[in-house]
Chains A and B, each alone.
Chain A
């Protein structure tokens, strides 16, 4: 590795920040005098955003959305990993369930909203169940693949050392499958955000998706734009948190890959 001198650090910062700043500036000035109703000036959007998204509004709309997302996502992760380990550990179970699972995974998750509304009404339960039922498939199928691909030498070694039960699950199965599990969790996160918004656009009395659609229906265009920006920021923030967690949890794996690549 080259040593990071002050100059290269400055250059990197310039490269990383240059384009976003440039794009934001272009948007700012290009839209500055805009009288088009649909494309208000960026300054108006930001100003409206500051007025609209007060602490109360955030507590009333953003917090419920994010809570539902986190509950559903966690539920899907636990359910997907648990079922995935069971299905992945028994080849016959996997062969039996595979076509059904492939079918259920292929159903576009948003069409589950009307189906689940039948069972759970339009309350919070519906939204959480929708998120769980959309997010669980990528986690489940990736866990199955991960468990299936456990190195047979490792598996036999663990067996001959008498590592069984919980120790085997923690040290061998979960650990070997974790890169695949995280790949599934990453796909599930973007599906989760989509479903969070969709379920609120369909039927809700609060939430980010509901607020954005409300703005659009009442032609509060700058408010709508500020909602879109907020949704974007939320997506970026969640992706960043996920990346940090993944780097921590899979540090050993990324190190292994780097050393293999270098050799």
Chain B
């Protein structure tokens, strides 16, 4: 039985598609691009609303050759990475603390369940007032949204602790710290990785949102500028870039997950079927 969190839905390990599947996927991608090219050309959609693929590609080429684009990309990734890092460290620390201290889990359960579903975008007005269009505005939203993903997974993971392993460790006289390091951590790690993977995706969404709505510098605010100046192809190009970053983050997170869990049954089972 695999131990990765079932609750989160999306599978942790990437499947290995056969060469036939990869070709079909490429065909699908080509078909999608051709469709976007054809729809405005055939007059089914106004090119003012949806420019053809070639026009978007030209806009993308223009963006890529602009230094401001790379600055914006760097700003977005900085906000994302910094926010994710803070949320991960805080989530793991809080999760371990909550489980190690007796009664703390029961005492915090209702508070966690209450705070978690609060949409982080509700904090946007507060962020604007406190930090304006500063990086800290982005960080506030990103950290709030990503923290719960990590924390909840850590809590699930610790619940999965094997009582026999725990008692064995106790009877061998391992101290609290050693038990955290050698029993708790390996059990919770698959869950932590799932949490970090989910948090990475959420952090990107919130980083871009903050830029789009608040106007903190980054790709999001660049999209907002393109929108207000009616540069429609540039807007589509930038949207495509955010999608590509999303795909790369997903792939990267899965790769990190596989690597750090190479010893784990769920990953080993995949490599040698």
Contact = CB atoms under 8 A, between A and B. Distances in A.
Interface of A: 12, 15-20, 23, 38, 92, 95-100, 102-115, 117-119, 138, 141-142, 145, 179-180, 183-184, 186-187, 190-191, 193-194, 197-198, 201-202, 209, 212-213, 215-216, 221, 224, 227-228, 231-232, 235-236, 238-239, 257
Nearest to A115: B239
B78 to A, nearest CB: 16
Nearest to B115: A232
Contacts of B122: 197, 212, 227-228, 231-232, 235
Contact of A115 (B117, B209, B235, B249): B235
Given A197-B124, A201-B213, A239-B113, 10 more contacts: A16-B109, A18-B107, A96-B24, A104-B243, A106-B245, A114-B223, A115-B236, A216-B128, A224-B126, A238-B117
Contacts of B212: 110-111, 113-114, 198
Contacts, number: 180
A235 B117 CA distance: 5
Give the interface size class of chain B. 35 or more
Contacts of A190: 117, 119
A213 B49 CA distance: 28
The 10 closest A-B pairs by CB, nearest first: A106-B246, A183-B9, A216-B125, A239-B117, A107-B243, A231-B122, A96-B28, A232-B118, A114-B227, A95-B24
Interface of B: 6-11, 17, 20-21, 24-29, 31-32, 48-50, 103, 106-111, 113-114, 116-126, 128-130, 201, 204-205, 208-209, 212-213, 220, 223-224, 226-227, 232, 235-236, 238-240, 242-247, 249-250
Nearest to A253: B6
Contact of B247 (A92, A103, A113, A193): A103
B36 to A, nearest CB: 11
10 contacts: A19-B111, A99-B26, A103-B243, A106-B244, A107-B246, A111-B212, A113-B212, A114-B223, A118-B232, A197-B122
Nearest to B123: A228
A19 B107 contact: yes
A228 B122 CA distance: 5
